[in-house]
Amino acid sequence: MSSTITQQPESTTQIVRPARSFQGSVTVPGDKSISHRYAMLAGFAEGTSRLANFSTGADPHSTLACMEALGAKVVKGPGTSVEVTGVAGAFQQPKAELDCGNSGSTMRMLAGLIAPHPHTFTMIGDHSLTMRPMERIRKPLAAMGARIDLVDGHAPMTIHGGPLKAIDFETPIPSAQVKTAVLFAGLQAEGTTSLSEAVRTRDHSEHALKAFGATLTRANETLSIAGGQRLKAIDATVPGDISSAAFFLCAALLFPDSNLVLDSVGMNPTRASLLDVITTLGGKIKVLTVEERHGEMIGTIQVNRDEAGLKGAEISGALSAQIIDELPVIAAIAPYTRDGVTIRDAKELRVKESDRIALVAKNLKVMGAEFTEYEDGLAIPGNQQLHGAEIDSGSDHRIAMAFAVAALRASSENIIHGAEAAAISFPEFFPFLNELSKR
């Protein structure tokens, strides 16, 4: 095996039997997106940050391992807490390649954070990660003066670090990861970097930077960050991951008498579009508690299904970008809706951990669904009954979990191949799903 690709875990299967209801209370793991950002900024900052409810997913732990390799000190435990002692703005030359595992978030965002440092960094990942586009990161960082080598636009990525200059950048595609890489580089560049985005993406990086002491400003859709800023350690609790909660929210829609309570879940407005779609589909959402921590909203919500049943939805434009990670599970339950679900403007799904449009289509087909596949989405009619089948996850965590949810309403049991992929973002998923599914 090449030294530039990390080892794949052994494939496992999960059998998911149909359920008659979906009920209970659950606390989902810490938000993956926020955990990545806190880990990176804690590793860069001065002092020791204490992070509670850190994500249990494999991806943010790839970020922690990279921070250790760059000179930060990481102490895990007890439970899901992590302490990170940062390098006070001066990363060291790593002794080996920075292994990002399956995590595009790690590779893309970390590239911006390390590019201003006077070392050579080579970032690698597993086979899936080497297939994902990285030119979108190289272009803005190169415009700032970074020297970055890719292989046909993909990892492994080698960064020849050095001083950067501020730029004015317009994001060509909606991407919070590209935005973050530019902001992290701008934090250390000469001058003030500005960034504008036509479609506003999740703003976890802005909140995290401010929490660690950075100053950045927003005027309409343009963000500005001055270079030369230093960061200080924080104590923070990571909210529960709304993208992980999405699977249980969709499962709750499948049954008339469902009753789901999600404790301490992130309710950031740039991620809350998912809750709007759940409501459109027929979910009744009641906010029981809500508070703000380090700019992030965190709350407890109760979800039931509306008496009118599971309706349908048309998802396109900016909304597709805002809920891009949740689209596979919405597509997986679409056949059970009354009016069907149409998803367009979601071509980005084809360059995630897998071609998610193709895999959703493949698995809907083996479960007996009719649909139309487009280059940028799917049209899935409603009033369909799915049957049991053998599901191919493509080693993609969101595909494995999406079709485990669809299996709850199938006419017979489903076998999920590559179920171990769920550990990328949500290791507890299958035990939690089984506990909440009433049979």
State which of 176, 208, 236 marks the end of a domain: 236
- Do residues 174 and 187 both lie within one domain? yes
Across residues 140-157, what is the average pLDDT? Answer: 97
Which CATH number fits the domain that encloses residue 380? 3.65.10.10
Q: Does residue 299 fall inside a structural domain?
A: yes
The percent of residues in the chain predicted with pLDDT above 70, rounded, is 98
Residue 343, beta-bridge partner list: 315, 378
Write the DSSP assignment of 283-306 as a string of letters.
EEEEEEEEEEETTEEEEEEEEEE-
10 pLDDT higher than 90: no
CA dist 320 and 324 (Å) reads 6
Q: Does residue 346 fall inside a structural domain?
A: yes
- Do residues 255 and 209 both lie within one domain? no
Is residue 195 within 8 Å of residue 175, measured between CB atoms? no
2 pLDDT higher than 50: no
Which of 356, 306, 354, 309 is closest to 331 using CA atoms? 356
Q: Which residues contact 77 (CB under 8 A, 6 or more apart)?
A: none
What amino acid is encoded at 37 in this protein?
Answer: R
pLDDT of residue 9: 56
- Do residues 302 and 429 both lie within one domain? yes
The total number of structural domains that make up the chain: 2
- Do residues 133 and 232 both lie within one domain? yes
Give residue-wise pLDDT tens across range 60-79: 999 999 999 999 999 998 88
Q: Does residue 8 fall inside a structural domain?
A: no
- Do residues 45 and 177 both lie within one domain? yes
What DSSP character marks residue 420?
A: G
Instruction: Tally DSSP H helices, then E strands, for the chain.
Output: 13, 24
- Do residues 188 and 245 both lie within one domain? no
199-236 burial code (b ≥16 CB/10 A, e <16): bbbbbbbbbbbebbebebeeeeeebbbbbebebebbeb
3 pLDDT higher than 80: no
- Do residues 300 and 176 both lie within one domain? no
Which of 29, 436, 26, 17 is closest to 258 using CA atoms? 436
CA atoms lying within 13 Å on the CB side of residue 149: 8
Across residues 265-279, what is the average pLDDT? Answer: 93
CA dist 110 and 99 (Å) reads 11
For strand 222-226 and strand 235-237, is the pairing parallel, antiparallel, or unpaired? unpaired
CA dist 119 and 100 (Å) reads 18
1 pLDDT higher than 60: no
| Residues annotated as catalytic (active site), given as ranges | 325
Burial class (CB in 10 A: 0-12, 13-18, 19+), 417: middle
- Do residues 68 and 112 both lie within one domain? yes
- Do residues 156 and 274 both lie within one domain? no
Average pLDDT, the chain: 95
CA 395 to chain centre: 16
What DSSP character marks residue 349?
A: G
State which of 236, 264, 281 marks the end of a domain: 236
- Do residues 36 and 25 both lie within one domain? no
Q: Where in 10-129 does DSSP place strands (E)?
A: 13-16, 21-26, 48-52, 73-76, 82-85, 98-99, 120-124
- Torsion (CA) 339, 400, 360, 4 in degrees, nearest 10: 150
- Do residues 393 and 332 both lie within one domain? yes
State which of 236, 271, 292 marks the end of a domain: 236
Q: Does residue 62 fall inside a structural domain?
A: yes
pLDDT bucket at 198, cuts 50 / 70 / 90: confident
pLDDT of residue 272: 84
pLDDT of residue 11: 81
Residue 360 belongs to domain spanning: 13-30+240-438
Handedness of CA 352, 355, 360, 366 (dihedral sign): negative
Q: Does residue 412 fall inside a structural domain?
A: yes
pLDDT of residue 292: 96
pLDDT of residue 7: 46
Question: Taking the model in full, what pTM does it have?
Answer: 0.92
Q: Does residue 286 fall inside a structural domain?
A: yes
CA dist 374 and 70 (Å) reads 43
Give residue-wise pLDDT tens across range 374-420: 999 999 999 999 999 999 999 999 999 999 999 999 999 999 999 99
CA dist 173 and 153 (Å) reads 16
Across residues 36-55, what is the average pLDDT? Answer: 98
Q: Does residue 5 fall inside a structural domain?
A: no
pLDDT of residue 5: 40
Across residues 299-314, what is the average pLDDT? Answer: 95
Q: Does residue 122 fall inside a structural domain?
A: yes
Which two three-digit tokens encode residue 416? 């999920």
- Do residues 37 and 170 both lie within one domain? yes
What DSSP character marks residue 103?
A: -
Across residues 11-32, what is the average pLDDT? Answer: 96
Give residue-wise pLDDT tens across range 223-257: 999 999 999 999 999 999 999 999 999 999 999 99
